[in-house]
Amino acid sequence: MQFTDPGADIFVPAGAPAAEEALKSVSHLCVGAHQDDIEIMAQSGISDCLGIPGRAFGGVVVTNGAGSPRTGNYAHYSDQQMLDVRREEQREAARLGRYAIQIQLNHPSSKVKQPRHSEVVGDLTAIFAGCRPEILYLHNPADKHDTHIAVLYRCLEAIKALPPSQRPRRVLGCEVWRDLDWLPDNEKVALDSGRDPGLALKLLAVFDSQVSGGKRYDLAAMGRRAANATFHTSHATDNVAGITWAIDLTPVTRDGGPSLAEFTAGIVGRFAADVAARLKAWA
């Protein structure tokens, strides 16, 4: 297995089987833009696979993580040193979370932002063709990070390059840089991210180069999960300890399905209508 960027990293934490076999075994796959996105988005999938025969979690990071802010212990790091640190942090997360495989494609975000970029889409198509996940976790289309949206688009281009029978069965867009609490309740997909809280916190804190400068993504992600679980319904008690909200993007991956922009505008429109209806009812 080889990808286009010479700095791409293919890591099988258990040491075996070979990368192709490890990828083929993946039942829950997450593709994120940056190191640490997987652990914020897809804790539910990581928990789903832990110790369950026949299930395996796989992670893909598309960008090289260059240009990330650096403070504290990392303030004097060069770009290259920062890339090395972030790659190793992602490998450590894969070890801790017992992923079957962790791939880091190492693309600069300037490439990722080019529509249908042949190297980026080619790498992603090879990954999607090399496994048949039950669930694919991607960024969500209402995210406010430009690189996240670009990665989502490149993933959808790659999925649609495959014959329908080879596409992931279910594709979910998960919250990172913008919560999805505003989604109409009947359109929310609740991912149970409240299991394995000790591991979940470790998986977020392992990204020390991002967290130690004062951006406590670890505490923030855990807090958001707890808040989502509690604020979901006003009358029922919490039956899970943490929720990550997601949008079901599967319709967008089908031939003849809506465009991502049309699909997302529909959801936002239904949210606006819900707010307006409640204001009208109680005026």
Q: Which residues bind Zn ion (CB under 5 A)?
A: 33-34, 37
Nearer to Zn ion, 61 or 222 (CB): 61
Residue nearest to Zn ion (CB): 34
Nearer to Zn ion, 27 or 109 (CB): 109
Name the minimum Å distance from CB 107 to Zn ion. Answer: 13
Q: Taking each helix axis from N to C terminus, what angle separates 260-281 and 146-160, rounded to the nearest 10 degrees?
A: 120
Closest CA to 264 of 126, 118, 153, 113: 153
CA end-to-end span of the chain: 62
Nearer to Zn ion, 37 or 218 (CB): 37
Nearer to Zn ion, 37 or 39 (CB): 37
CA-to-CA distance for 248 and 137, rounded, in angstroms? 10
Q: What is the DSSP string of 210-235?
A: HHTTT--HHHHHHHHHHHHHHHS-SS
Nearer to Zn ion, 33 or 142 (CB): 33
- Name the amino acid, one letter, at 27: S
Name the minimum Å distance from CB 31 to Zn ion. Answer: 11
Name the minimum Å distance from CB 63 to Zn ion. Answer: 8
Name the minimum Å distance from CB 139 to Zn ion. Answer: 8
Residues 6+ apart with CB under 8 A from 176: 32, 37, 40, 41, 139, 140, 143, 145, 148
263 burial (CB, 10 Å; 0-12 / 13-18 / 19+) is middle
Name the minimum Å distance from CB 148 to Zn ion. Answer: 6
CA-to-CA distance for 138 and 120, rounded, in angstroms? 15
